[in-house]
Amino acid sequence: MLAEPLRNGLVDLAREASRVLLSFRTGPRNDLGLDWKGENDPVTHADRAAHELCAARLPVLLPGIPLVSEEGTEVPEASEFWSLDPLDGTSEFVEDLGEWAFQLALVRDGRPVLGVLALPAVDRIYLAEDGKGCLAGPLSRQEMSRFSAFDPVRRERLVLTRSLPRRPSLRALVEAHPGSDPVLLGGVGYKVHALLSGEGDTYFAVPRTLHPWDLAAPLVVAREAGLACCTLSGGESKVPCDRESIPEGQLFTRPRWLLRNMEFFAKAEAKELLARKDPR
């Protein structure tokens, strides 16, 4: 078990970073400093401010552990590192949709062992430790309690990226999938929150669409809250210590829907669609 001061410090940092992010939402949109790192890949002053906060605080919280952040540049050779997405869902943040998150996880040998997922727009925070379960509570208050994902009794409902309309291969994959009533949301962390809260049941990301910082914190939170998490081929989801897109597609679902999803993604038609490259 990791030390309680480390867990408490991680939660405190997530709360402080959330306040920083929210402070940028109270001013005019022009104050966000919107810029573009690539096609459909925005960055703002808020992303950078939350990154800088964590870059300053994490060496105090756990000395000697390098940081791999979406807004950083370093690529350390390390088996243990922090994986940070200071603002997952920047597009939704800019558009004031609320579907964005702060995500931070400690990764050892490719496996996130401690993670925090904060969703300021909906006043929610999750903390999870490998093998120790998940805690959750209001972001605006100190109390957190044991949490397990809700499991509504209904047909399997998909949670998918908001970019679905401009991705023909993904649309074809969704049309063939046995799930129903897709819900389109932004940000990996927010999609996982939608599964945890019962809004949806299954979220999948096709190969080369997630980066390590997208996956790390949502993965440990989802796993410890009782969701089934793996690659689309059924392997263990791993978080690499690099800045490249992750070659394996990823699946988050309820345990009762896992076998059906594995059978679906094993079909030749699904594999062919997964191999195609859609616009970002």
pLDDT tens-place string over residues 119-178: 999 999 999 999 999 999 999 999 999 999 999 989 999 999 998 888 999 999 999 999
How far is 132 from 137, CA to CA, in rounded Å? 17
In CATH, the number for domain 4-147 is: 3.30.540.10
Specify the pLDDT at position 118.
98
Q: Do 157-275 and 4-147 have the same topology in CATH? A: no
In CATH, the number for domain 157-275 is: 3.40.190.80
Question: Helix axis angle, 212-224 relative to 188-197, nearest 10°?
Answer: 10
Q: What is the DSSP letter of 245?
A: P
Q: For 17-75, how does the pLDDT look when each residue is reduced to its tens digit (9 = 90+)?
A: 999 999 998 766 657 887 887 766 788 899 999 999 999 999 999 999 999 999 998 88
How high does pLDDT run on average in the chain? 94
Average pLDDT value for residue range 178-199: 95
Reply yes or no on whether the pLDDT at 1 is more than 70: no
H helix and E strand count, the chain: 8, 14
Average pLDDT value for residue range 105-126: 98
Residues 6+ apart with CB under 8 A from 172: 273
**Residue 268 parent element (H or E):** helix 268-275
How far is 257 from 261, CA to CA, in rounded Å? 6
How is the chain split into domains, by residue range?
4-147, 157-275
Q: For 190-224, how does the pLDDT look when each residue is reduced to its tens digit (9 = 90+)?
A: 999 999 999 999 999 999 999 999 999 999 999 99
Reply yes or no on whether the pLDDT at 76 is more than 70: yes
